[in-house]
A and B are shown apart, each in its own frame.
Chain A
């Protein structure tokens, strides 16, 4: 198994400073030295609550933000060291599908132009070829050919998300970042899109970075899962094993808080108390210690590192 993409010690810090006379108000470590790998043809799921850094991670991978530290390696080469053609190739190989199907498509462009935009921008292609490719993709995502000449407002949410997927595929990328791709859709439509994404993965050998707050959807889609809390990875490992027997106290609490899919599965685990602290002033030591039922004095002082535990990575002093 080879990793198509690998992040090593990746960080993104934001200066909490605004305007001309703002002055600095400290640093937000939105993403703090995280490492992960996306295997070829696999899905890496990222879960965590708001403020955990999962969206920033997606932006870093997409090149929408530049990392403050660490590196991203694509096909074994560091992005930093890539020359211009190399970067262009990277950009073509990594595409995205976002949450809101209504905001993802420019309302003033026809579907054909929307789907073709990445192609036209990046490659010299003649018009008939572009058209051919657009129709091919529409067929691939299950939309009729005549959709090409319509405008976005003529489609429902699920159909728009199919269009967004077609656009992401037009450059035949290797990695697609899926940032909450079904959260905005109705329950009965979600399954259509998840099924489509899975079948595209097997047919085209795509790798996904899948970000969602719906744990069951992530578990369903992913091969590996990364759990984040306040910018750090607290646990990562094989998806099913992690979902069924989480180890880190936060992962445990998170999965315990997930809603059951059947009334017989109601859990009586105690609910995690407290709220996620402000990322502007995260707790010392292990960020999770103020809410952790197992916290010791050491947790408040020393941040645990990720360590291998039973084929998984866990960042917790309990597992040393």
Chain B
């Protein structure tokens, strides 16, 4: 177990390293980094100063060292627009993103898991095709379109829900649904396929042969096994949700991290963009690590095999 954790942490650190190298290289190698890292409209002396400060006159590996150490010490730069450290901005917005993601996650599980189970139990039947259609729509419809149609309907025509901003629960409904639908579809698909796989397993067959009532076969023997991968995915997706809500938050003007990213792009505020991307990637790597370790605790077979 210890060995497994050490190995898994090693992989994660490697991933973080490669991620930082990727981001670093993209910024330095494609075009002139000064245009990104230096405020628009800076004077030539300022630019020269900045070049020196970022070490852009140094060899590439020295530049990387500066870049990496500043990240590790939590110095992600200043926002050009807000004139505050980007990390501060990030943590200001994080609670809003968490709120949105949590509600969207609850919605997606409430929709995704029961419909996935139903589709698997009635495979080939009406509920299966209904669920398939629902999930296909969820995966196919662009989120900004869903958001705009919801606004058109609930805000413009019916006037029931506020179209943008944050505040009460009413503000949350539409963005959470828009974000949640995509994930509900993903959770439904996974629940269905994992349920189908479990229903085909020998131990479920044996449960039937024991003469258990169908409700017990599905509710006890099949469900618990089938939900393990779904819960795992949901755990990872919660973090993913925080980081992919950019479109939803833009449409509904929800002041989360996605909105911050959008502002970063529109105001050409590159330190903000870089911060959101780096922290998002790191967060997901860490969550993957935690899930893997947790998994190994639950199911010792994984430790031995992988």
Say if the beta carbon of A22 comes within 8 Å of chain B. yes
Say if the beta carbon of B3 comes within 8 Å of chain A. yes
Residues on B with C-beta less than 8 A from A20 are 7, 10-11, 14
Residues on B with C-beta less than 8 A from A23 are 3, 7
Closest CB in chain A relative to B110 CB, distance in Å: 39
Say if the beta carbon of B6 comes within 8 Å of chain A. yes
A18 to B306, CA, bound (A): 8
B3 to chain A: closest residue by CB: A23
A19 to B8, CA, bound (A): 10
Closest CB in chain A relative to B93 CB, distance in Å: 36
Q: Mark B7-20, 1 if CB is under 8 A from A, else 0.
A: 10011001000000
Enumerate A124-160 residues with CB–CB distance to B below 8 Å: none
Residues of A in contact, count (CB < 8 Å): 6
A23 to chain B: closest residue by CB: B3
Residues of B in contact, count (CB < 8 Å): 7
Q: Mark A168-210, 1 if CB is under 8 A from B, else 0.
A: 0000000000000000000000000000000000000000000
Residues on A with C-beta less than 8 A from B7 are 19-23
Residues on B with C-beta less than 8 A from A18 are 306
A7 to B49, CA, bound (A): 74
Closest CB in chain B relative to A283 CB, distance in Å: 20
Closest CB in chain B relative to A22 CB, distance in Å: 6
A18 to chain B: closest residue by CB: B306
A20 to B6, CA, bound (A): 11
A21 to B11, CA, bound (A): 8
Closest CB in chain A relative to B13 CB, distance in Å: 10
Residues on B with C-beta less than 8 A from A21 are 6-7, 10-11
Residues on A with C-beta less than 8 A from B3 are 23
A21 to B10, CA, bound (A): 7
Residues on A with C-beta less than 8 A from B11 are 19-21
Most buried by A among B6, B7, B11: B7
Q: Mark A198-225, 1 if CB is under 8 A from B, else 0.
A: 0000000000000000000000000000
A21 to B7, CA, bound (A): 5
A18 to B3, CA, bound (A): 11
A256 to B107, CA, bound (A): 62
A19 to chain B: closest residue by CB: B7
Closest CB in chain A relative to B49 CB, distance in Å: 42
Closest CB in chain B relative to A296 CB, distance in Å: 34
B14 to chain A: closest residue by CB: A20
Residues on A with C-beta less than 8 A from B6 are 21
Closest CB in chain B relative to A277 CB, distance in Å: 16
Closest CB in chain B relative to A229 CB, distance in Å: 24
Enumerate A42-87 residues with CB–CB distance to B below 8 Å: none
A22 to chain B: closest residue by CB: B7
Enumerate A12-35 residues with CB–CB distance to B below 8 Å: 18-23
Closest CB in chain B relative to A20 CB, distance in Å: 7
Closest CB in chain B relative to A19 CB, distance in Å: 6
A20 to B7, CA, bound (A): 8
Closest CB in chain A relative to B252 CB, distance in Å: 44
Closest CB in chain A relative to B100 CB, distance in Å: 37
Enumerate B105-122 residues with CB–CB distance to A below 8 Å: none
A23 to B14, CA, bound (A): 17
A74 to B11, CA, bound (A): 45
A23 to B10, CA, bound (A): 12
A20 to B12, CA, bound (A): 12
A18 to B8, CA, bound (A): 12
A21 to B3, CA, bound (A): 9
A20 to B3, CA, bound (A): 12
B10 to chain A: closest residue by CB: A21
Residues on A with C-beta less than 8 A from B10 are 20-21
Closest CB in chain B relative to A211 CB, distance in Å: 26
- A-B pairs with beta carbons under 8 Å apart, 14 shown: A18-B306, A19-B7, A19-B11, A20-B7, A20-B10, A20-B11, A20-B14, A21-B6, A21-B7, A21-B10, A21-B11, A22-B7, A23-B3, A23-B7
Pick the 6 closest A-B CB pairs, nearest first: A21-B10, A21-B7, A23-B3, A22-B7, A19-B7, A21-B6
- Known A-B contacts: A21-B6, A21-B11. Give 12 more (CB < 8 A): A18-B306, A19-B7, A19-B11, A20-B7, A20-B10, A20-B11, A20-B14, A21-B7, A21-B10, A22-B7, A23-B3, A23-B7
